[in-house]
Amino acid sequence: MTLHADYDPDNIFAKILRGEMPSVKVYEDDVALAFMDVFPQSEGHTLVIPKQVEARNFLDMPTEKLGAYMARVQAVAQAVEKALVPDGVVVTQFNGAPAGQTVFHLHFHIIPRWSGRALGSHAGGQMADIGELEGIAQKIRPFLA
């Protein structure tokens, strides 16, 4: 997909927001939804998506909504770090298919990293066990309350 195109209201994240597709939620308010990535690159890989906007990527996000959304991205990253105690945390976001974007609804990846542990491939590999993702989410949620 090109960098700039019309927003597709049937993308998987829009369906998750509408409750048409399941997700393992970590945090939700009127600004953002955070949930576990079902194809995690690392234990605790969490996605944070904005609500009430039709932004395909960071370049499309209304400026006036960025501050509140980015505060949620930071809060989730801090909660993941506190809950899982990784050696580092990657906070990343892709704009357009050539940059690695696979779902065209703005989202940030929060990816815990540990020294000596390989990182899985982006948008690849095997789907995670939902029960295991729920267990990880239960560790993170208390740090977002």
What is the average pLDDT across 81-98? Answer: 97
Asked if residue 107 has pLDDT above 80, the reply is: yes
What HEC string does the chain produce? CCCCCCCCCCCHHHHHHCCCCCCCEEEECCCEEEEECCCCCCCCCEEEEECCCCCCCHHHCCHHHHHHHHHHHHHHHHHHHHHHCCCEEEEECCCCHHHCCCCCCCCEEEEEECCCCCCCCCCCCCCCCHHHHHHHHHHHHHHHC
pTM: 0.96
* CATH classification at residue 22: 3.30.428.10
Question: Is residue 5 one of the residues assigned to a domain?
Answer: no
Question: Is residue 44 one of the residues assigned to a domain?
Answer: yes
Question: Is residue 132 one of the residues assigned to a domain?
Answer: yes
Asked if residue 2 has pLDDT above 80, the reply is: no
pLDDT band for position 124 (cuts 50, 70, 90): confident
Structural domain count, the chain? 1
Residue pointed to by tokens 């703005």: 106
Return the percentage of the chain with pLDDT > 90, whole number. 92
Asked if residue 123 has pLDDT above 90, the reply is: no
107 classed as catalytic: yes
- Give the bridge partners for 10, in sequence order: none
- What is the domain extent for residue 108? 12-144
What is the average pLDDT across 49-66? Answer: 97
Question: Is residue 52 one of the residues assigned to a domain?
Answer: yes
Q: Which residue has the higher pLDDT, 112 or 121?
A: 112
Out of 4, 107, 109, 122, pick the active-site residue.
107
Confidence at residue 1, expressed as pLDDT on a 0 to 100 scale: 60
Confidence at residue 11, expressed as pLDDT on a 0 to 100 scale: 97
Six token digits for residue 84: 């899982």
What is the average pLDDT across 57-63? Answer: 97
